Amino acid sequence: MEQEKTAADKESLISRRHRVKQIKVTIIVLIVVFLILPTILCIIMFFKVQSLQKQIDMLMIERYGKTYNGLFEKNHESIAHAAVVQYNTSKSAKDILNENNKEQLDDTNKEKETDDINKKAMTSETKTLESKVSDKNTQEIKKQNTNMEEPNDISKESAGKSGNTIENNQANGKKSEKDNLLEKKYIFDNSKTVYLTFDDGPSKYTADILDLLDTYNVKATFFVIGKTDKYSIEMYKRIIEGGHSLGIHSYSHDYDKIYNSLEDFEKDFTKLSDLLYDITGYIPYLYRFPGGSGNSVGKVDIQELIQFLDKESVIYFDWNVVNGDATGVEYSPEELYTNAMDGIKIHNTSIVLMHDTDTKENTVKSLEPILKTLTEQGINVLPITDEVTPIKQVK
Ligand code: ZN
């Protein structure tokens, strides 16, 4: 009996132990499922989000010259300008539907007067752009597109000859209300100075840009990247021989490489500086930061890079006018023209940011009317030199 009881107790003890073990395993499984796994997932997601944020910042810098946060900061004329351009583009659809041309004409005139009084960049830019958009008409845009799709033919003509879209329309007796407005809108006093700058070249369009500049006897500034093919070498030479300014825009234009450390920045800078010196015999002293000096994607403090440039006696230039050719919006040549002109209109001294890449055909198409309008009105269009007061975005 006694033996049987002991055996039963033993069995119950074993089964209880077994149950305790089961409960322990269950608790461990629950802890793993509800605590450890979510924690690990959170950590993984945190790093994932960080890397995505970085990618977004890089894309934003590529398109707007500023990170997402920086895009909405005030006092950032060029970026604000780009943002306003986008806002108004979406607004134009409504305006086109309204077809309220007479009112718009009055508005534009009023706004022109207001612009003269109001020198605040943002306000003025917004108004000018709004007036631009308000007088937009789809058919007219199409018509002008057709006219402007002949930059090569036009560029072959002499500077004195009429080759401009607006003038062509006049000559053909097709002068529209919008053309009137455009002409009226861009009458500047000739005390203005404009510096046209082209980033990211050489490209297949560099030769066309140089031809157009020659036609109008205008000198510009090219912030180039590093290329070693025969054509690009020829373009570096042509820029210098043509009396234009040749500046450095980094060898690689790769944010990860350039802004990784001061050492990497120096390496990239020196590589292009040496290349340009070997090709042209000229030591470049102008620099434009990829993404502008106001970018904040780099691991390295931009001030360190600026100190390095100072030490090398290199001056960096940002911009205060954009034509919008790097905003990710596919602007027509007319829109690029009006974007640039609206910016030039509100500044006494404009440094205009444009891009010279294989995809910026519309920028080349918009250049002819820009050059024509500026030169016809006797505005100083000059290359950047060490005597020019730099425009700097960095705080
Ligand atoms: Zn660039």
| C-alpha of residue 224 to centroid of ligand 1, in Å | 8
In this prediction, residue 319 carries a pLDDT of 98
What integer pLDDT is reported at residue 31 of this predicted model?
85
CA 70–ligand 1 middle distance (angstroms)? 17
- The whole-number pLDDT of residue 217 equals 98
- For residue 8, report the distance from its CA to the centre of ligand 1, in Å: 85
Indicate the pLDDT class of residue 360, thresholds 50, 70 and 90: very high
User: Using the 8-state DSSP alphabet, how is residue 54 labeled?
Assistant: H
Instruction: Report the pLDDT value the prediction gives residue 387, as an integer from 0 to 100.
Output: 96
C-alpha 390 to ligand 1 mean position (Å):
18
Between the CA of 61 and the centroid of ligand 1 the distance, in Å, is 9
pLDDT digits (tens, 9 = 90+) for 277-307: 999 999 999 999 999 999 888 889 999 999 9
Question: Where does the pLDDT of residue 340 fall: very low under 50, low under 70, confident under 90, or very high at 90 and above?
Answer: very high
Distance in Å, CA 7 to ligand 1 centroid = 86
Least confident of 4-13, 116-125, 314-323, 327-336: 116-125
- Supply the DSSP symbol for 150: -
Centre of ligand 1 to C-alpha 36, Å, is 45
Q: What percent of the chain has pLDDT over 70?
A: 65
Q: Which pLDDT score is estimated for 86?
A: 37
Local confidence band at 1 (pLDDT 50, 70, 90 cut-offs): low
For residue 253, report the distance from its CA to the centre of ligand 1, in Å.
Answer: 7
Beta carbons of 346 and 127 less than 8 angstroms apart: no
Cα–ligand 1 centroid distance for 373 (angstroms): 26
Give Cα 366 distance to the centre of its chain.
Answer: 16
Residue 244: other Cβ atoms inside 10 A = 22
Mean pLDDT of 250-256: 96
pLDDT-derived band at 92 (thresholds 50, 70, 90) equals very low
CA of 158 to the centre of ligand 1 (A): 32
CA 114 to centroid of ligand 1, rounded, Å: 34
pLDDT, one tens digit per residue, over 210-251 is 999 999 999 999 999 999 999 999 999 999 999 999 999 999
For residue 364, the CA-to-ligand 1 centroid distance in Å is 16
User: Number of H helices and number of E strands within the chain?
Assistant: 17, 8
**How is residue 251 annotated by DSSP?**
S
State the pLDDT at residue 68. 53
The alpha carbon of 200 and the centre of ligand 1 are apart by a number of angstroms equal to 5
**What is the whole-number distance in angstroms between the Cα of residue 47 and the centre of ligand 1?**
28
- Domain 193-381 of CATH type 1.20.140.10: no
Contacts of 346 (CB under 8 A, 6+ apart): 115, 119, 121, 124, 125, 128
- Tell me what pLDDT residue 333 has: 96
pLDDT tops 60 at residue 329: yes
What is the distance in A from the centroid of ligand 1 to the CA of 296?
A: 15
| pLDDT, tens digit (0-9, with 9 covering 90-100), for 299-320 | 899 999 999 999 999 999 999 9
- The rounded distance, in Å, linking the Cα atoms of 317 and 353 is 10
C-alpha of residue 198 to centroid of ligand 1, in Å: 9
Query: DSSP letter at 357?
Result: S
pLDDT at 325 over 70: yes
Q: One-letter amino acid identity for 27? A: I
Between residues 248 and 9, the one the model is more confident about: 248
pLDDT in tens, 28-73: 888 888 888 888 887 888 888 777 776 666 555 544 545 555 444 4
Q: Pick from 127, 275, 99, 137: which is nearest to 202 by CA?
A: 275
Tell me the CA–centroid distance for residue 222 and ligand 1, in Å: 11
CA of 254 to the centre of ligand 1 (A): 9
Residue 165 tokens, joined: 């879209």
Q: pLDDT tier at 365 (50, 70, 90 boundaries)?
A: very high
pLDDT tens by residue, 367-376:
999 999 999 9
In the reported structure, the alpha carbon of residue 256 is separated from the centroid of ligand 1 by a whole-number distance in angstroms of 14
Specify burial of residue 138 (Cβ count, 10 A radius: 0-12, 13-18, 19+): exposed
Q: What percent of the chain stands above pLDDT 90?
A: 49
Phi and psi at residue 345, to the nearest 5°: -55, -35
Residue 382 is predicted with a pLDDT of 98
What's the 223 CA to ligand 1 centre distance in angstroms? Answer: 8
**How many A from CA of 134 to the centre of ligand 1?**
31
Distance 132 CA to ligand 1 centre (A): 27
Evaluate if residue 146 carries a pLDDT over 90.
Answer: no
Span 95-105, average pLDDT: 37
Question: How many whole angstroms from 65 Cα to the centroid of ligand 1?
Answer: 9
Tell me how far the alpha carbon of residue 30 lies from the centroid of ligand 1, in angstroms: 53
Averaged pLDDT of the chain = 75
